[in-house]
Structure 1
Amino acid sequence: MIERLRGRLSRGDSPRFWVIGDVMLDRYYMGSVDRVSPEAPVPVMLLDRIEDKLGGAGNVAQNILALGGRVALAGRVGADEPAERLRALLARAGVLASGLAEDPSAVTTVKLRVLAGAQQLVRIDHERPEPPGSGMLDALLDGLARDLPQPDFVLLSDYAKGVVTSELIERLRRLLPAVPIAVDPKARDYSKYRGADLVTPNEHEAALAAGISVRDDASLLAAAERLSALVPGAAVLITRGPRGMSLLLPPEAARRSAGGAAEPPATSDRRLLDAPAHARRVFDVTGAGDTALAALAVSWVSGLSWAERLHVANIAAGIKVGKIGAVPVFLSELLAALAQGACGAKLIERRLLEGLRRSATANGQRLVFTNGCFDVLHVGHLTLLEHARRMGDLLLVGINSDASVRRLKGASRPVHPAAERAALLSGFSCVDFVTIFDEDTPREAILACRPDVLVKGGDYSEATIVGAREVRGWGGQVEVVPLVADRSSTRLIERGPEER
C-alpha cells in the first residue's frame, strides 16, 4: 500500500485533480479585549492583526497539492477585494486557478472570525448563494481544461453557496465519463448529486438529508441506504469524527477500484464497512474532513482497495487534528505515519519544504527552524525546542543524516540512526515537522523552507549561525536561546554510566 502511494504520487506525472465548488476566504481579526463598551454590553477588541486563509474548496485544493497531486480549482467569485486575496493565496500555494470565474453580480464568500486570544467572539458571513448560469459553468470548465486537461479525479466541494448543481454533475459526467467524481455534500436533497461515484457527508449531514435520527449502527445503516437510493451507483462514506468512518458500497454485484481490483460483492443484506479513527491527540478539528477527502482521493487514483482508502483517509485525518488551523497534511507525513502504523510521524522530505513554506504563508503562520544532530536527547534539547516553538506557529527541526553526523563527530557517531532520532523528535508536542539533511550544514534546508525565525542554542552567536545572513535578508528573525548548563550529547556520551 505504501509503495503504491509513493510510486503514484512521487513520480513526475503525478495524478491530476479538478476541485470545483464554493471557494471562500477565511478572514481572521485577532486582538485582545480588556474592557466592555460603554455603548452596549459588548467587549471592545483592540485589533492586533488580520489574517486571510483559503477556505471551502480552496482548502481541499491545497490538501491535494500537499499530498503530491496536481490541482486545478474552479469556483465563482465576485469582482471584489476578497477575490483578489483568494487569487494571491492560491498562487502562493501553487494551485492553478484559471477556473475562478468572476461574476460581477456575485460577492466572494467571506467568513470573518473575530478572535480575542483563543476565544472566538463572533463570526460574520458575507455571501450571496445562487446557482451559476450556463455561461458561468462554461467559464469554470474551460478554465479547468486550460490549466489541467484530462483529470484523473474530480472533487466537488458543496457548501450550499450555489456552484455545485445537478447540471454541473451532468456536464462533468458527459465530459469525463470514466473519471471518478466525489462530492462533499451540504444539500438536503441528494438527488442533485446523481452521477457521482462517492458522497461523503458527516453523520449530522447524513441524518438530516435522510430524515433519520442516527442513534446506533442500525439507524446509521438505514440513513446510508436512503442516501444510496438517492444517488444510484454511488458509495456513501459517512465521517463520524472520533468514531472514524463508515462506508456503504453501492448494491451492484461487484465494484472495481481505480486499480482494477475487484471489490467484495454486495448482497441484499448490506453492511457498513467501518474504519476506526486514528487520532493520537486532538488540537483542532478544522479542515479534518477536507484532509480525509483529499487522502481518500489520492488513494483512489493510486489503485488502493476501499479498505485501504479508508485506512489512509483516517490516518491523514488523525495527523490533521494534531495541527492547529486549516493546514494541510503532507505526503511525507502520511507515508511515515502509515509505515509506523500511527499518526504521530512528522517527517518531511527536502523536496516538500518549499510547499511547507507556501502553505505556512497562505495560512498566515510563522515558520520557525532549528537544527542539530539530536543524537542523545536531553533536557537542553527539550528546552531549546519548546522555546523555539513559542516563537511561531510551526516548528521545523532539521537533523543531520547519519553520514553527516559521522563527518562532524567521528566514526563512532551517531549513537542513534537518523530514523530513530526523527521518531523521537516527532514525539514532542512542540515539534511540528522534522527534516533530515545530508550536508554538513542546514543551509540548503533553510533556503528551501525560508523560515520566519531561525533559532540556535547559546553556544552560537548570530555571526556563527549558518543561514542567519539569509534569514535576515528576507526579513526574518534570528534568535539565540541560552543553554542548559552542563548538558550536551557529547558530554553525556563521554561520561561513564556512573557519572550520568
Structure 2
Amino acid sequence: MNSECLAIINRFGGLKVLVIGDAMLDVYMDGSANRICREAPVPIVDIKEVKAMPGGAANTAVNLAELGAEVHYLSAVGCDREAELLKDTLTGHGLDISLIICDQARRTITKQRVTAGSQLLVRFDSGTTDAVCGEYEQQIIEALKEKFHEVDAVVVSDYGYGIMTDKVIDALGALQGKRENILVIDAKSLDKYSCVGATVAKPNYQELVTLLAITEPAAIGHRSEQIKLHGQKLLKKTGTKYVAATIDIEGALLFQHGKEPYRTFSKPVENTRAAGAGDTYVSALTLALASGASIEVAGEIAKSAAAVILQKSGTATCMHNELSQYLGSSSKYIHDWQELKSHVDTFRKEGKRIVFTNGCFDLLHSGHVTYLEQARALGDVLVLGLNSDASIKRLKGSARPINNLYERLRILSGLESVTLITSFEEDTPINLLDIIQPDVYVKGGDYTIGNLPEAPIVLGYGGKVEIMPFVQDRSTTSIITRIKNLDKQLV
C-alpha cells in the first residue's frame, strides 16, 4: 500500500484548503530548575528559551501548508500582542491570513507551558472563549460563503472556544448542501454537526465516549474493541460519510456505511512532550481525500503523518518531505504483530501463498540474498522476521550485532524478494508463527523437522516446513573473521 500512499501525497501540492476554527498561540518556556523558592516549596525555573507557535486550528492550518497545500485560515483573534505573534508565525509558514478577524473585545487564546528539562511543570491558559457575536460573526459567515466553493477541501477545527457558533454551523451546512465539498470535522461536540453533511468526522477516544454516552470507558489496550461495536451508530450520529476514530496508541478505526471497519495501527513512540498529533492527522487525512484516496489509504497516510510528529517535541508539524521519507523508509517494516496479521490475512483472501523465514541477517551478503530469493520462490509473499538486537546478543555474544535493527531493516527493505518485515525479541519466532500462521515456514541450515523447535507449531495448524541449505562459504561470521585477520596483517 505504501507505493499507493506515496503516489497520493505527491498530489498534495497546489490543493487549496480553507481552515475555520479556534486560533491559539502555544508558548513554550524551557529552562532548568536547580533551586527551591523561599516563599513557597516550588521550583525556581531559570528560563533559557521562549518559543511561540500556532496552536489549535492554527496548527492544523500550518500542517496543511507544510504538507504542500495552499491554505486560507478563517478565525477571530484579539487585537493584542499575542495575535500579532500568531499572525507572524502563520505568515512565516506561507498562509493567507487575510481572513483572520481582529475583535477588540476578545483576547487571543494563549497556552503557556513552563518546562524544566523534559518535565512539564505548569500550563497557563488565557484568552476569550465566549462565542463571537454581532458583526464579527457575520464577517466569518460572509468569508465562509466567499471561499467555500473556491477550495478543494474545508476543515473545521472546533475546540469549543467560540468561533463555530450555531449560525456559522448553519451557514456551513447550507453551503455543503448547495454543492458538496470535501468537508472534515474535528470538533469536541460532533453532535452539533450532524446535519451539515460532512465527508468525515474525526473524534478521539474521549470525544467518542461523550458522543456515544459510554458510562464505562475501556482500559487502554481494549478501547478499539469497545468502539468497533458502535461504527454504524457513529455514522448516524455524525451524519458523515466516514468516521475516523483515533484511539491513541491503539491506532484508528475507519468506519463507512455498509462495510466492516478498517483499522490502522500506531507504533509506540517514547515521547511525552509532542502535541498536536490530532491536528496533523486531520491535515493529512483531508489532503489525501482531496487527492482522490480511498478512506483506507487516507487513514494510512494520516497515521504516518501523526507518527512523524510524535518523534518531535512541543506543538509540531509534519512536512511533505518528512512524510515521503517516512513512508519510503518504513514501507515494509511492521512493528505491531496484529497489524502484520491483518496484512497477511488480506493477502490470504487474495489467494496468495504466504512464506515466512527468520534470522539475524547482520552483515548482508550474497548468501543471504540467494536464500531469500529461494524462499520467496516458494510462494507469493515473503514475510521476514528479524531477531532484535537483544536477541542476537543472547545468541551470538555481546559483540553482535554489527548492524543494529534499524540498519538491518533499511538494507533488507531494499530487497525485491522481501514483502514485509517484522522483528521479535525472543530467541525463536514461535509466538510470531502462532499468530500469522504462514503457509510455508522456511529455515536455513542443517536442521531437520525433528530438531527444529518451530516445526510443531507450523505442522500443528497445517502449514509446511521447508529446510533450505545455506550457500557454502557465505556467512557473517566468516566475513567478520576475514576482517579481523586483515586488521592483524595491516598492524
The verdict on a shared fold, with TM-score over 0.5 as the criterion, is yes
1:219 aligns with 2:226: yes
Change beyond 3 A, Cα 1:340–1:139: same
CA-CA distance at 1:2 after TM superposition: 4.0
Contact persistence 2:153–2:181 (CA under 8 A): yes
CA-CA distance at 1:330 after TM superposition: 1.6
| Percent pairwise identity | 27
CA-CA distance at 1:222 after TM superposition: 4.4
Which of these residues, 3, 6, 9, is aligned with residue 12 of structure 2? 9
Change beyond 3 A, Cα 1:289–1:497: farther
Alignment of 1:138-157 (within 5 A): 138-143=138-143, 150-157=150-157
Aligned-partner SS, 1:97: coil
Change beyond 3 A, Cα 1:232–1:45: same
CA-CA distance at 1:3 after TM superposition: 5.6
Alignment partner, residue 23 of structure 2:
23
In 2: Cα distance, 1:149 partner to 1:499 partner: 72
In 1: Cα distance, 2:298 partner to 2:489 partner: 51
Structure 2 runs not aligned, ≥5 long: 334-406, 412-482
In 2: Cα distance, 1:299 partner to 1:138 partner: 31
Alignment partner, residue 96 of structure 1:
96
The letter of the residue matching 1:78 is: G
Aligned-partner SS, 2:97: strand
Deviations 1:426-455 (A, max 9, x none): xxxxxxxxxxxxxxxxxxxxxxxxxxxxxx
Alignment of 1:313-324 (within 5 A): 313-324=302-313
Which of these residues, 248, 272, 277, is aligned with residue 266 of structure 2? 277
1:194 aligns with 2:195: yes
Count of residues in correspondence between the two structures: 336
Alignment partner, residue 405 of structure 1:
none
Change beyond 3 A, Cα 1:314–1:332: same
In 1: Cα distance, 2:206 partner to 2:489 partner: 60
Contact persistence 2:26–2:315 (CA under 8 A): no
**TM-score of the superposed pair, with normalisation by structure 2:** 0.62
Which of these residues, 321, 327, 331, is aligned with residue 332 of structure 1? 321
Alignment partner, residue 238 of structure 2:
231
1:116 aligns with 2:116: yes
The letter of the residue matching 1:298 is: L
Contact persistence 1:106–1:128 (CA under 8 A): yes
Aligned-partner SS, 2:314: coil
Alignment of 1:17-56 (within 5 A): 17-56=17-56
In 2: Cα distance, 1:146 partner to 1:93 partner: 23
CA-CA distance at 1:50 after TM superposition: 2.2
Contact persistence 1:66–1:330 (CA under 8 A): yes
Which of these residues, 226, 238, 247, is aligned with residue 240 of structure 1? 247
Aligned-partner SS, 2:150: coil
User: Bigger radius of gyration, 1 or 2?
Assistant: 2
Structure 1 runs not aligned, ≥5 long: 252-264, 345-419, 425-491
CA-CA distance at 1:218 after TM superposition: 5.1
1:286 aligns with 2:287: no
CA-CA distance at 1:121 after TM superposition: 1.5
In 1: Cα distance, 2:289 partner to 2:236 partner: 23
The letter of the residue matching 2:184 is: A
Deviations 1:40-60 (A, max 9, x none): 222222233322111111111
Query: Which deviates more from structure 2 when the two are superposed, residues 240-249 or residues 205-214?
Result: 205-214
In 1: Cα distance, 2:128 partner to 2:239 partner: 31
Change beyond 3 A, Cα 1:56–1:2: same
Alignment partner, residue 384 of structure 1:
none
CA-CA distance at 1:61 after TM superposition: 0.8
Contact persistence 2:145–2:175 (CA under 8 A): no
CA-CA distance at 1:148 after TM superposition: 8.9
Contact persistence 2:114–2:123 (CA under 8 A): yes
Contact persistence 1:238–1:246 (CA under 8 A): yes
Query: Which deviates more from structure 2 when the two are superposed, residues 333-342 or residues 32-41?
Result: 333-342
Contact persistence 1:184–1:201 (CA under 8 A): yes
Alignment of 1:33-432 (within 5 A): 33-133=33-133, 135-143=135-143, 150-176=150-176, 177-187=179-189, 190-195=191-196, 196-212=198-214, 213-215=216-218, 216=222, 217=224, 219-249=226-256, 251=257, 265-266=258-259, 271-278=260-267, 282=271, 284-342=273-331
In 2: Cα distance, 1:295 partner to 1:89 partner: 21
Aligned-partner SS, 1:303: coil
The letter of the residue matching 1:136 is: Y
Alignment partner, residue 368 of structure 1:
none
Contact persistence 1:2–1:339 (CA under 8 A): no
Contact persistence 1:74–1:141 (CA under 8 A): no
Change beyond 3 A, Cα 1:83–1:162: same
CA-CA distance at 1:115 after TM superposition: 1.6
CA-CA distance at 1:310 after TM superposition: 0.9
Contact persistence 1:18–1:155 (CA under 8 A): yes
Contact persistence 1:214–1:220 (CA under 8 A): no
CA-CA distance at 1:220 after TM superposition: 0.9
CA-CA distance at 1:205 after TM superposition: 1.8
